[in-house]
């Protein structure tokens, strides 16, 4: 994620800021060039501080779940991220509303990243080949689950409950479980259909490294939940769940590829360098590049490993879990390289 600044006083802004915490000017994100704009809070219209151009907020701004901007004369009421929503929860329920807010924070960060990669994002409401989000409560339907099906990404509201999410993480023996992680994983399934399945040459390459996705999916999941992950799974898989089926291996690897890219991009914009005193070279990292501009994925991963080790160490010093509790083995790096090379032409 980039670093953003107020257009009025140059104070630092977070991606989710609705106002500048220093001067009080309104703030909003323009996705066409990934810039944060600010506006006089006492004006009748939104005229940007630096450019003096008029905008309007996405309609979901009234719920404080979106700070994205739309050109004043744009016929759309919703921004490019919120146009992807097909179903939102019943907002008369206060608990539902708070959970939706958390989901929207994660979704907007996902869309930021997918746009930066250069992927075409089409709403399923406008085109059957597109995708959409259903943010819904499970209620009395126990069969309803978080997942992806034919472009519909369903996220259960309970995933936005930090207590329940932690309980699920422990129950499933997962080292990491976040809303953003869920969204990155599920959108990976959608892009498998778009980028891999639809291209015979890419599909052949996929099968050579991830395995044959024609294996019965339901049976594979049953076997996984019955027998667990195979011995020494860490050599070629990023997680235990990735071992269940090639589709899940792809989605898990895709999600972690996105984790890595955003970690390194954020470090780049902050000018973060890792140079431990008296330690070996392999623990050093100098983040001097935007990873989205780098063709050689080895350069990115060599930077990510010491960077994540340093951040994990800081987390432990503060008494909180590791930010990135995973080991990226050479076998997983090969899978990430496949994804990286597949996405390069999109940029």
**How high is the pLDDT of residue 279?**
66
pLDDT of amino acid 167: 73
Nearest residue to 202 (alpha-carbon basis) of 261, 214, 193:
193
The pLDDT value recorded for residue 282 is 75
pLDDT value for 28: 97
Q: Please give the pLDDT value at position 213.
A: 97
Find out whether 323 and 311 touch, Cβ atoms under 8 Å.
Answer: yes
Dihedral over Cα of 87, 90, 96, 101: its sign: positive
pLDDT, residue 94, reads 82
Q: Specify the pLDDT at position 170.
A: 66
Whole-number Å distance between alpha carbons of 77 and 110? 21
d(CA 111, CA 121) in angstroms, rounded, equals 9
Q: Which residues of 251-274 are buried (b: 16+ CB within 10 A; e: fewer)?
A: bbbbbbbbbbbbbbbbbbeeebeb
Residue boundaries of the structural domains of the chain: 4-78, 80-190, 199-347
CA separation for the pair 116, 222 (Å, rounded): 37
pLDDT at 101: 93
Tell me what pLDDT residue 137 has: 85
Residue ranges of the chain with pLDDT lower than 70? 139-140, 163, 168-170, 172-173, 175, 279
Q: What is the pLDDT of residues 119-136, one digit of tens each?
A: 999 999 999 999 999 999
pLDDT of residue 175: 67
- Taking the C-alpha atoms of residue 171 and residue 266, their distance in angstroms, rounded to an integer, is 32
- 327: region left, alpha or beta (phi > 0 left; psi from -120 to 50 alpha): beta
End-to-end Cα distance, the chain: 16
């Amino acid at each position: 994620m980039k670093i953003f600044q107020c257009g009025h006083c140059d104070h630092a802004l977070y991606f989710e800021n609705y106002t500048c915490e220093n001067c009080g000017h309104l703030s909003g994100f323009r996705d066409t060039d990934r810039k944060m704009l600010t506006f006089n809070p006492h004006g009748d219209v939104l005229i940007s501080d630096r450019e003096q151009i008029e905008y309007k907020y996405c309609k979901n701004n009234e719920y404080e779940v979106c700070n994205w901007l739309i050109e004043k004369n744009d016929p759309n009421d919703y921004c490019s991220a919120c146009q992807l929503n097909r179903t939102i929860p019943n907002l008369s329920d206060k608990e539902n509303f708070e959970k939706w807010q958390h989901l929207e924070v994660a979704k907007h960060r996902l869309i930021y990243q997918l746009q930066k990669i250069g992927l075409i994002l089409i709403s399923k409401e406008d085109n059957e080949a597109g995708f959409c989000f259903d943010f819904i409560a499970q209620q009395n339907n126990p069969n309803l689950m978080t997942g992806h099906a034919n472009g519909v990404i369903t996220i259960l509201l309970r995933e936005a409950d930090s207590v329940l999410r932690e309980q699920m993480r422990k129950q499933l023996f997962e080292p990491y479980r976040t809303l953003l992680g869920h969204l990155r994983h599920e959108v990976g399934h959608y892009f498998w259909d778009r980028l891999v399945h639809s291209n015979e040459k890419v599909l052949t390459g996929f099968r050579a490294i991830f395995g044959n996705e024609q294996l019965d999916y339901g049976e594979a999941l049953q076997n996984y939940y019955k027998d667990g992950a195979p011995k020494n799974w860490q050599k070629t898989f990023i997680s235990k769940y990735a071992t269940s089926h090639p589709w899940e291996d792809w989605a898990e690897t895709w999600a972690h590829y996105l984790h890595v890219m955003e970690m390194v991009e954020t470090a780049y914009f902050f000018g973060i360098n890792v140079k431990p005193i008296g330690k070996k070279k392999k623990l050093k990292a100098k983040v001097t590049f935007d990873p989205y501009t780098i063709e050689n994925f080895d350069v990115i991963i060599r930077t990510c490993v010491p960077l994540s080790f340093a951040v994990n160490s800081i987390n432990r010093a503060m008494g909180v879990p590791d930010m990135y509790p995973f080991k990226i083995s050479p076998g997983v790096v090969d899978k990430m390289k496949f994804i990286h090379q597949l996405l390069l032409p999109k940029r």
